Every structure is written in structure tokens, then in C-alpha cells.
Structure 1
Amino acid sequence: MIDFRYHLVSIVAIFLALAVGIVLGTTLLQDPAVKSAQELTAQLTKTKDELRVQIDQLQGREAGNDAFVTSVTPKLVAGELTGQRVLLVETPGSSTTFREAEQQVLEEAGAEVSGRVTLTEKFFDPDRSGVLDGLVNQLKPVDMVFPPTATVWGKAATLLASTLLTPDQAQAGTPNAATAAVISGFETGGLIGTDGDPAKRATLAVMFAPERAFEGEQAETQLAALVSVADRLDAGGKGAVLAGSAANAGATGGTITALRDDGEVSKRVSSVDTVDMPAGRVVVVYSLREQLNGRVGQYGVGRGASTTQPALQTATPSPTQSGS
């Protein structure tokens, strides 16, 4: 709503400038014409001022709501992810600010962040797909077999997921000995960057979507690659969530839109398009909890979102004792 009003203010300002230009440039500077132009200018100025006040009020309300949600977030998420390890995955063009804010909320929820993996532009470059494919075949365990229809990014993500994630709680926090050289090989090739100790496997993953839409001839291929990575991360552990902003979800060429448009992947991987808001960061935690329980959802306010948040869990009332 605020963005729309900003546009409206801009349009009013344009008309105001046009009105002034007409007054200054016309050769019919007669009293009726001047008076009419002055009245129009006054009305447009009044409308602009009124809209400016409304925008200020809405921004104030939004800031107040965000401050309130931020203050109660520790209580809203307390214990939701206790005992879980979460891997954070950044993609080219994703927001470091959103990732840092989400990491704090995940830790408030009781999760331990195993580390961070940053997928570089080289990883998603179609012109380098042959190099990526060769590296995957070189590093994968002998017993790892890919489906015939798997893309090079699906193969690479499967290998990374087996290295960084596990669905077995007993293996969480331990490295996968069979893929010990994978992280080093991908880093040497400039395909990923790491922080923390992601080799000690996590059970869940949060992947942050690029905040820009892909354009050009290779956009469709790159979007499919990103969606494939999110899907393989989900398969490698107990669940995954793709997080980004509503602007990304609503844009043609946006990763969240592409995931939601994929009828199969959207049945497995959850998405949240409000990670730029305090409330959205809480929803990411709830979505991970929902993934642990075998459920999936597309949440937020952008295109393809089913609702703003998962259904809140309610405690089962204790049976009353007879005679009480």
C-alpha cells in the first residue's frame, strides 16, 4: 500500500509541474486562465500534502508493528527448533541483512546454525555447467547414482546436500566421511564459499533467494537451477525453506515465484516471502517446524502464497479429573 501511495504522490507532483509549466508557457495569460491554473495547482498541492500525511502515518504504524513483533519474537519462537541444526544457504544477489536477521531468530528458537554456504555466480553459470558436471563426477562417492533426468545442478546439489545435511538426528553435527573432499573441491573451483563449520551436518536448511529477478536468454535455466538446489537441500535433510521478500515473490523471474509455479517442488519445499519483515522471520521458524512434521506451505503476501503463516499449533487440553 505504501509503495502505491508513493507512486501516487509522484504522479501528483508531475501534474503539478505540468500545471505550472502551462501557466508559464501559455500565451493566453488572461485572468480566467490564470485563475483556473492557480486553483488546479492549489488542489493538486493539497492532495499531495494529504497523501504525504497518510504515507507518514502508514510508515509510523508499520514501524510500530515491526518494533512490537521484534520485541516479542523470542517468546514467539522459544523452543520451536530445540535440538535442530540449521544450514544457511546464500545465493547470488540474496540479502546479507535478511540472512543475519533470520539467523538471530533461528538461534532464539533454540536451533544451532551449523554454518553458511554461499553459492557463487559460477555455480549457476550455464556456460560453466560442463566444468561443474565434471567436478561432481570426480568428487561423488562411487555408490551415488543420479536419476537419468537429473540436471547438472540437481547432481551438484544432491552431492552438496549429502555432505552438509542429514535426515538422521543421530548423525547431526558429524561430518560425512564419504564426502569429506566435496567442500574443499567446490571451494577451490570458486563455486561456493563457506563460513562456520557446515561440514558438521545440519538437519534443516534455509535458502535465501536472490533479491533480483533473472533476465535474458539464460534466466529460465538459472531459475530452474535454483529451484533444483532448494529441492535437493530439502531431500538431503528433514526439510528446507526458501526465503525472500515479497518483491521477489511477485516478480517475473523471481526464484520464489518459480518454486511456487513448480507443481512438484512446491509440494516438498516451503517458501516465505516476508523475510524482510520481523513477522516473516518468525514464519520461517514455524515453516521449519512444519517441515519437521511432514507438512509444506507457501507463506507470505506475494504471488502464489496460500496464507501469511502456518496454522498455529494448539496444545491438547489435559483431561479433567473426575470428582474435581
Structure 2
Amino acid sequence: MIDFRYHLVSIVAIFLALAVGIVLGTNLLQDPAIKTANEMTRQLTQANDGLRGDLDAMKQREQVHQEFVATLTPQLVAGSLAGERVLVVEAPGANDTYRELTEQVVEEAGATLSGRLVLLDKFFDPKSAGVLDGLVNQLKPAEMAFATTATVHDRAATLLAAALVTADPAQVNTANEATTAVLDGLLKGGFVEVDGDPLNRATLAVVYAPDAPYEKDDDGGAAAALNALAGGLDAGGKGAVMAGAAATSAGPRGAITALRDDGEIAKRVSTVDSADMPEGQVVIVYALREQANGGVGQYGTGTGASAFQPEPPTSAPTPTTTEAGS
């Protein structure tokens, strides 16, 4: 029978063998392993330094590029929107920097900013649709009629367009007396905010898209609502442009992507997905000019863009005054 002493000796022998094996293995592998690790570290460090240098060079080139375009922008857009008034519409999550740059370049193009309409989350919330519909029906002029197939946001867009834009030169920079209570009602209802004096009607509108994709569970409701508003503003004035960035607004579930996928709206409303680029601000002005002359296009670098910018006009712009929208 094997006694306890035999077990103890056996266990000690096993652990001693393991220890000897580890020591021998470490000594045999130490030099090659360390050399390999050191070489890999050196190569990775060298590659990282190279990439960092490339990035710094690209940043410097981009800075020079932006300064160059910014310097030329006043010349590129001069007179493009002379005599026009432009309304800026800001969706929830829109990028303030892009919007502020647009306002600056629009003014350099000779246009006047009529004001800014800020759409709040409640405007798009399905739970608030009934309240919004009730307000629209309460605030609309008696003679205003809606299509039987119009959604609540279609009806809201028609009402807002009547209050904020016009294609009639005689009505530009004047308030629509029939709808002066519209903004006040929507303000009190928590659906919008305003900056400036947008009730003095504009001729054109820039709608700034959210600077992030819509959530997967949105089910297209917010995109359809924003499309409806852009379409309504286009029909009520001389035209509308939706602007944003290619990486977000023109990506999967982006607002610009949704508009380009909507065949009917895309036939009338232009899009520009390069608003985050200095030259994109110029393209927004060119797209507005094209809209004022009855044209439409999808511009930028994202999916669905037909060109980076509109074709240059063959002659001086002669804004159309007899038709609403593009």
C-alpha cells in the first residue's frame, strides 16, 4: 500500500520538474523572444511616426485650402442672390457651425436673411401629432384648404410656408396678415423657436438637416416630416435647399438620403451634402440661385449626388417671379 510519504515525494518531484522546465524554457527562448518583440516595437513606432507626419501634412494642406476658398468666396458668390431674402430652417441636431457659415456666405451673395426657424423635437414627436394638427386647423386661414391625402406635417408645412415665404415680389419682406398668429401659436405650443423676423417673408429657404443619422426606431417619421416641410417651403416660395454633411446627413438613415430617395420631393427640392466644406457654402448659394431660376439638383459627394455643384449659369440670373417653387 502506498503511504503518505510516497505521495509527498511524488508531488515534490512533479513541481521540481515543472520548475526546471520553466527555467530551461525561459533561458532557451529569452533572447529570440526579446529580439523579436524589440524589432516589432521599433517597426510599429516607425510606422506610427510616419502616419503622424502624414496626418500633420494633411491638416496643414486642409488649413491652407480652407483659407484659400474663404478668401475667394466673396468673389465666387458676389451678386448670385441679389434681391433675394433667405429663410434658414434648423432641424434638431443641425450643426450650428455649418449654419452660421451659410448665413455669412448668403449675405456675401447679396441676399438678406429674413430670420431663422428652429424646429424642436416636439414638432417631430408622433405623440404630439394630434396637438400639432389641432393647432394647424385652429391657426389656418378659413380659405386655406389641404389635400385629402395630406399628413399632419404636410398641413403644417403648407401653413408655415404661407407665413414665411412667397414668390410674389410685392409680398417679399412683408408679413402675411392671414397667418401672423401662426408662429405665435406654434411657439406657445413648444413646436418651434424663432430668431430674427422670419414673418417678413423670404423668397428662398435653406433647411439644415440633422448632423447625425436618424435612429433605427424612428421608422422614417422624422425624415418624412422634414421632407414635407422642405417641400412646402419650396412650393410656397421660389425654392428650397436642404443642406448637411455627406458623412452624416447623406449616409444611411440620413435626412438628405431620405429626401433623395423621395422621388417626388427630389424633383423640386435641391440638396447639398458638402455643407461642412468651405466650397460647400458656395455650392449652397449656387443651388439657391438655381432654385430661384426654376432648376433643381442633388449636389455633393454622398450617395445620390448627381454632381458636386450646379452648372454655371449661361447668363446673369433672372429670378422667376410668376411661379411658386421650383
TM range (shorter): 0.7 to 0.9
Give 1:219 deviation, angstroms: 4.1
Aligned CA distance change for structure 1 residues 192 and 31 (closer, same or farther; 3 Å)? same
2:39 and 2:312 map into 1 onto residues whose CA distance is: 55
Secondary structure of the residue that 1:100 maps to in structure 2? helix
**Matching residue's letter, 2:272:** V
Q: Could you list the per-position Cα deviations for residues 169-228 of structure 1 after superposition, in whole angstroms to 9, with x for gaps in the alignment? A: 221011111112111111111111111111110000001111121114234111111111
Q: Could you list the per-position Cα deviations for residues 223-251 of structure 1 after superposition, in whole angstroms to 9, with x for gaps in the alignment? A: 11111111111111000000111222343
Secondary structure of the residue that 2:79 maps to in structure 1? coil
1:57 and 1:313 map into 2 onto residues whose CA distance is: 37
Match of 2:181 in 1: 181
Match of 1:110 in 2: 110
User: Are 1:46 and 2:56 counterparts?
Assistant: no
Give 1:293 deviation, angstroms: 1.4
Does the 8 Å contact 1:249/1:303 carry over to 2? no
Give 1:38 deviation, angstroms: 1.7
* Correspondence 1:1-324 to 2 at 5 A: 29-315=29-315
Q: Which runs of 4+ in 1 moved over 4 A?
A: 26-29
Which 5+ residue runs of structure 1 have no aligned equivalent? 1-25, 317-324
Secondary structure of the residue that 2:252 maps to in structure 1? coil
Aligned CA distance change for structure 1 residues 186 and 38 (closer, same or farther; 3 Å)? same
1:29 and 1:271 map into 2 onto residues whose CA distance is: 63
Secondary structure of the residue that 2:220 maps to in structure 1? helix
Secondary structure of the residue that 1:224 maps to in structure 2? helix
Does the 8 Å contact 1:86/1:111 carry over to 2? yes
Secondary structure of the residue that 1:171 maps to in structure 2? coil
Secondary structure of the residue that 1:205 maps to in structure 2? strand
Give the percent of matched residue pairs that are identical in Structure 1 and Structure 2.
Answer: 57
TM-score norm. by structure 1 comes to 0.86
2:143 and 2:236 map into 1 onto residues whose CA distance is: 16
Give 1:315 deviation, angstroms: 4.8
Give 1:313 deviation, angstroms: 2.5
Higher Rg: 2
Does the 8 Å contact 1:126/1:218 carry over to 2? no
Say which is worse superposed, 128-137 or 89-98, in terms of deviation.
89-98
Give 1:33 deviation, angstroms: 2.2
Which 5+ residue runs of structure 2 have no aligned equivalent? 1-24, 317-326
1:44 and 1:314 map into 2 onto residues whose CA distance is: 55
**Matching residue's letter, 1:160:** L
Does the 8 Å contact 1:248/1:257 carry over to 2? no
**Matching residue's letter, 2:226:** L
Does the 8 Å contact 2:211/2:249 carry over to 1? no
Secondary structure of the residue that 2:93 maps to in structure 1? coil
2:164 and 2:290 map into 1 onto residues whose CA distance is: 21
Q: Could you list the per-position Cα deviations for residues 77-136 of structure 1 after superposition, in whole angstroms to 9, with x for gaps in the alignment? A: 100000000001111111112111110100000000011111111111111000000100
Name the count of aligned residue pairs: 291
**Matching residue's letter, 1:265:** I
Secondary structure of the residue that 1:242 maps to in structure 2? strand
2:152 and 2:314 map into 1 onto residues whose CA distance is: 43
Does the 8 Å contact 2:93/2:210 carry over to 1? yes
Does the 8 Å contact 2:124/2:222 carry over to 1? yes
Give 1:59 deviation, angstroms: 1.3
Say which is worse superposed, 294-303 or 107-116, in terms of deviation.
294-303
1:308 and 1:101 map into 2 onto residues whose CA distance is: 19
1:290 and 1:250 map into 2 onto residues whose CA distance is: 21
Give 1:29 deviation, angstroms: 4.5
2:95 and 2:101 map into 1 onto residues whose CA distance is: 10
1:78 and 1:148 map into 2 onto residues whose CA distance is: 44
TM-score norm. by structure 2 comes to 0.86
